[in-house]
């Protein structure tokens, strides 16, 4: 349900505005309203000094956040609450943030350079190691020029061609060494006397053979560079460790203070932002905001105790504000609360409208279960949900997902028992019989079940629409007639196919003929189209049957693989793989389609999106602190 | 009716909506991806948008099954 909210108005002398704002921030329950501007009050503006302060604090906050991002202190380091900071504290934090950011950036840059250098050296390590053994040969030949080439093995013929071409140009005055690097690459070293080197270079240029470039950082020739590069490979881990030590020292020495500074600056910026929400006259201020009605008494009492008779807290009459302005707080029983996560995926409902969480909590897992409907898959999903729940933090979205999955698993097992399915038709081989019907055979009953679920869901949506439109009688009557007509159409159809006694047919048709003109009068000419669209919405629930059939057929095919592969072991392996794929599809597809049935077919009948999120003016806390609180 | 034509009719009943769904999703997919790149908060709407044309193939499947059942297949 949507929590009842009260709009409070705080009046007081202007010189106490800052203190009152701080007290409100300490209490942390008041969602401040838009700027209060009612004659003779006008919206407050920040003085040039405060405007400057806000600008400077925003810059310092950016510095701190960049530094924290670079240092990545981890979730264990949390800001310790401190007393309200002075101007001196802010100035000290500004200097510290600037200095630390510079140091952190330098350390980060150095770390990046080292990591990149190591990656480059590792990439070529095997290559240089191969050449290193050949360089001993080069050392035995004084006054020679060395050429280092990398040949692809598929160019094996190129090696023969190279050798014969060299023989053609320089005769026997060269040495050629090869070293396999990998199945596809070969390192080649060519040594020639320095005096005939130009001829060889000319030959290589003509043949399009390129020499391996030597990284300049390590020397001018491969002979001098390779030892240096191998040396660097040993040095880099030590350099990285040194950089890491400096970073750790920085984290230990400044991060706790930076976290304190970040929280205090955020608080101060929120306070400055709140100032402009007040309405002021030369001597007075007024501030308005919402809070849950249950917190109203304690809020007023605390402020009264703190400021005595200096300020007045009163509640604005309901006629003074509209539902669109009020923030929305969803509060449901513990069992239903995880499903609020599915509502939050959608824009929040408007204040005063209907919170669909209880309905989603029933129908979402029910639709999921009816589609997947398999005891085996349900049990696997249940185990996964339990594992996920044990690992998720309380009140986190992950915990909500685990709990929703748990509910879906329960419904899947229940529907599986109705269909007699345990990993498809595997259960039948062990005597598991359907309690209701066999989905493999009874396609029409399954379709009827899907349409029946759709009818209940859509009609419920229409009834909720009547409730939601209680302030607009014409709209409410229109929706009521629509709901009634849908029921009459369904009754007529059921009478035709013999589910209801034939005697129902004529009264229902007469009812439809009477209701239709009334609907057109109340809702206008658009009503017939909307009615058709509602009938279309009910037919859309046929997807429950279609997806369910697909799920069971895939499971049956998976089981048949055991006997179809020739080898039992291979068959079992394929069957397991197929079941895994089917299970993955079985998690994804019912979720998407159950959500769609809710968001499009069900919510479309009554839901009023556009609710304002309740964001009370309070001290800033990190998400981690929030979860621990 | 000839079993052959019952099979062909059932195949057409699902094939055409499947092609139509694929075509619609091929248009929606890139648009949704582009929207999500700019506004990640639209992810819910994005999923819905992709799921909406699937109604065609699902109803096609239902009609196909009914053709097979009514045709005595």
Say how many CB pairs under 8 Å bridge A and B: 40
Q: Which of A185-199, A220-234, A407-421, A444-458 has the lowest mean pLDDT?
A: A220-234
| Pairing outcome for strands A612-613 and A327-328 | parallel
- The pLDDT, as a whole number, for residue A146 is 77
Q: Do A593 and B62 make contact, defined as CB atoms within 8 angstroms?
A: no
- Residue where the block lists tokens 């302005």: A325
Which residues of chain A does B64 touch, with a Cβ-Cβ cutoff of 8 Å? none
| In the predicted structure, residue A396 carries a pLDDT above the cut 60 | yes
Q: What are the pLDDT digits (tens) for A156-165?
A: 667 777 788 8
Residues contacting residue A53 through CB under 8 Å, at least 6 positions apart: A90, A272
Averaged pLDDT, A437-442: 86
Contact state of B69 with A542 under an 8 Å Cβ cutoff: no
Instruction: Tell me the pLDDT tens digit for each residue of A50-109.
Output: 899 889 999 989 988 888 888 776 655 555 555 677 778 888 888 888 888 899 899 999
Q: Looking at residue A340, what is its pLDDT?
A: 92
Q: Does B62 touch chain A (CB under 8 A)?
A: yes
Question: Mind telling me how many Å the CA of A540 is from chain B's nearest CA?
Answer: 7
Q: Identify all chain A residues contacting B51, using CB atoms and an 8 Å cutoff.
A: 592-593, 595-596
Burial class, A75, CB count within 10 angstroms (exposed 0-12 / middle 13-18 / buried 19+): exposed
Who wins on pLDDT, A97 or A182?
A97
Mean pLDDT of chain A, nearest integer: 85
pLDDT of residue A201: 83
| Pick among A543, A545, A599 to test the B interface (most B CBs inside 10 A) | A543
Residues of chain B with Cβ-Cβ distance to A591 below 8 Å are none
Residue A627: pLDDT over 50: no
B19 touches chain A (CB under 8 A): no
C-beta separation of A374 from A421 below 8 A: yes
Report whether pLDDT(A586) > 70. yes
Give the largest CA-CA distance in chain A: 115
Residues of B in contact with A545 (CB under 8 A): 62
CA dist A284 and A197 (Å) reads: 94
- Please answer yes or no on whether B44 and A345 come within 8 Å at the CB atom: yes
Q: Does B65 touch chain A (CB under 8 A)?
A: yes
Residue A178, H or E segment: strand A175-182
Which whole number is the average pLDDT over A46-53? Answer: 88
In degrees to the nearest 10, what's the CA dihedral of A105, A109, A112, A113? -170
Pairwise CA distance, residues A454 & A542, whole Å: 8
How much is the average pLDDT of A517-539? Answer: 88
Where do the H-state alpha helices sit in A497-541? 505-523, 526-540
Could you give the percent of chain A with pLDDT greater than 90? 25
Please name the member of A443, A543, A600 whose beta carbon is closest to the beta carbon of B48. A600
The answer to whether the beta carbons of residues A363 and A459 sit under 8 Å apart is no
Distance from CA of B2 to the nearest CA of A (A): 22
- Token pair, residue A96, equals 């510290």
């Amino acid at each position: 349900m949507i929590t009842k909210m009260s709009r409070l108005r705080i009046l007081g002398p202007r010189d106490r505005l800052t203190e009152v704002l701080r007290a409100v921030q300490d209490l942390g329950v008041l969602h401040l309203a838009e700027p209060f501007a009612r004659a003779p009050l006008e919206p407050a503006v920040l003085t040039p000094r405060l405007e400057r302060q806000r600008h400077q604090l925003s810059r310092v906050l950016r510095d701190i956040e960049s530094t924290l991002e670079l240092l990545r202190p981890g979730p264990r380091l949390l800001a310790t609450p401190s007393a309200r900071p002075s101007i001196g504290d802010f100035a000290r934090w500004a200097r510290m943030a600037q200095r630390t950011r510079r140091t952190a950036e330098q350390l980060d840059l150095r770390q990046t350079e080292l990591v990149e250098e190591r990656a480059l050296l590792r990439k070529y390590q095997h290559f240089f190691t191969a050449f290193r053994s050949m360089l001993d040969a080069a050392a035995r030949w004084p006054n020679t020029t060395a050429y280092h080439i990398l040949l692809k093995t598929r160019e094996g013929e190129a090696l023969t061609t190279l050798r014969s071409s060299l023989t053609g140009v320089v005769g026997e005055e060269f040495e050629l060494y090869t070293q396999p690097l990998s199945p596809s690459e070969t390192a080649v070293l060519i040594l020639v006397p320095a005096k005939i080197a130009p001829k060889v270079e000319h030959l290589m240029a003509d043949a399009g053979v390129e020499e391996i470039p030597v990284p300049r950082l390590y020397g001018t020739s491969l002979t001098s560079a390779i030892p240096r590069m191998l040396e660097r490979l040993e040095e880099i881990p030590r350099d990285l460790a040194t950089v890491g030590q400096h970073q750790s020292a920085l984290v230990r020495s400044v991060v706790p203070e930076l976290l304190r500074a970040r929280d205090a600056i955020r608080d101060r910026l929120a306070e400055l932002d709140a100032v402009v929400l007040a309405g002021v006259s030369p001597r007075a201020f007024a501030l308005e905001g919402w809070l849950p009605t249950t917190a109203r008494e304690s809020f007023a009492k605390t402020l009264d105790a703190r400021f005595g008779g200096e300020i007045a807290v009163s509640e604005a009459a309901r006629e003074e504000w509209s539902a669109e302005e009020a923030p929305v707080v969803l509060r449901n029983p513990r069992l239903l609360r995880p499903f609020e996560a599915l509502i939050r995926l959608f824009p929040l409902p408007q204040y005063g409208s209907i919170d669909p969480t209880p309905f989603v909590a029933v129908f979402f897992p029910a639709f999921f279960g009816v589609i997947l409907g398999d005891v085996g898959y349900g049990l696997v999903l249940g185990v996964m949900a339990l594992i996920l729940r044990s690992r998720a933090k309380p009140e986190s979205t992950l915990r909500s997902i685990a709990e929703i999955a748990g509910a879906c698993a329960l419904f899947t097992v229940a529907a599986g028992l109705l269909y007699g399915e345990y990993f498809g038709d595997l259960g039948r081989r062990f005597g598991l019989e359907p309690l209701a019907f066999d989905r493999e055979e009874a396609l029409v009953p399954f379709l009827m079940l899907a349409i029946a679920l759709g009818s209940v869901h859509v009609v419920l949506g229409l009834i909720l629409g009547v409730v939601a439109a209680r302030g607009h009688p014409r709209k409410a009557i229109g929706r009521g007639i629509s709901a009634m007509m849908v029921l009459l159409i369904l009754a007529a159809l059921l009478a035709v196919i013999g589910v209801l006694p034939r005697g129902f047919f004529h009264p229902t048709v007469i009812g439809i003929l009477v209701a239709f003109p009334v609907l057109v009068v109340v809702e206008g000419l658009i009503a017939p189209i909307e009615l058709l669209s509602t009938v279309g919405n009910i037919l859309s629930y046929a997807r429950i049957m279609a997806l369910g059939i697909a799920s069971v057929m895939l499971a049956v095919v998976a089981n048949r693989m055991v006997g179809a592969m020739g080898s039992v072991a291979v068959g079992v392996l394929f069957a397991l793989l197929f079941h895994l794929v089917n299970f993955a599809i079985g998690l994804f597809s019912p979720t998407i389609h159950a959500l769609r049935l809710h968001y499009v077919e069900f919510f479309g009948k009554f839901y009023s999106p556009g609710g304002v999120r309740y964001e009370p003016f309070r001290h800033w806390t990190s998400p981690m602190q929030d979860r621990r609180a | 009716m000839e079993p052959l034509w019952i099979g062909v009719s059932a195949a057409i009943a699902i094939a055409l909506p499947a092609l139509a769904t694929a075509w619609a999703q091929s248009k929606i997919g890139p648009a949704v991806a582009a929207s999500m790149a700019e506004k990640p908060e639209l992810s819910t709407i994005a999923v819905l948008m992709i799921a909406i044309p699937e109604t065609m193939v699902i109803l096609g499947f239902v009609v196909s099954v009914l053709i097979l059942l009514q045709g005595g297949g």
